[in-house]
Amino acid sequence: MDTGVAENNAHAAGEPTADGDDPAGAAAPEGATKDDTTTGAPQAKPFGSRAPAFIKRSKPLHMTWQIGVAIIGFAIIVGGIIMLPLPGPGWAVIFLGLAVLGTEFVWAQRTLLWTKDKVTRAATRALDPRTRRRNMIMLAIGLLLIAAAVSLYLWKYGMALPF
């Protein structure tokens, strides 16, 4: 029976899975720890629907489940988009909506993996000492320029406001 589940070959390509689990220790023999089984062949974590088995058995019920998940996921994403210019955690809500969609749709799971990879790379670059040094120098130059502009204004106009 086709459950709509595709295989995730991320481990074969050296990429992390959706939840970062190392599947090498998934089926550890009795008495063995997770680290003892790292020499085994990596097992692929399936992409696709996370619906309960009784829902997957019925095609109409599974389709209804997917439509419901899509409506809820896209509603959460729209709420996040609305929160981008307004007060609120816009991006966090958008990623939450993608996580909801990712419970049923492979494209959302792949988008979340891509986003996680990009965020991890950006965090690594931000912690690089050369990048931090450059950012600190740019901050110091910006603060000096602001201080110069405020000093020039106060020298020319004093403490009185020009209106």
Query: Could you list the pLDDT tens digit for every one of the 163 residues in the chain?
Result: 444 444 454 444 444 444 444 444 444 444 444 444 455 555 656 777 777 788 888 888 888 988 999 999 999 999 999 999 998 898 899 999 999 998 888 898 899 899 999 989 988 888 888 888 998 999 999 999 999 999 998 988 888 776 6
**Tell me, what's the pLDDT at 163?**
65
Kindly list the distances between the CA atom of residue 125 and the CA atoms of 58, 91, 119, 120, in Å, as whole numbers in the listed order.
47, 21, 10, 9
Sequence-distant contacts of 58-61: CB under 8 A, at least 24 apart = none
What residue ranges do the domains of the chain occupy? Answer: 47-127, 128-163
DSSP-derived letter for residue 22 is -
**Tell me, what's the pLDDT at 42?**
59
**Tell me, what's the pLDDT at 25?**
43
**Tell me, what's the pLDDT at 28?**
45
Kindly list the distances between the CA atom of residue 74 and the CA atoms of 3, 85, 97, 156, in Å, as whole numbers in the listed order.
23, 18, 6, 55
Q: How far apart, in whole angstroms, are the C-alpha atoms of residue 16 and residue 83?
A: 30
Question: pTM of this prediction?
Answer: 0.52
The two beta strands, 6-8 and 45-47, are antiparallel
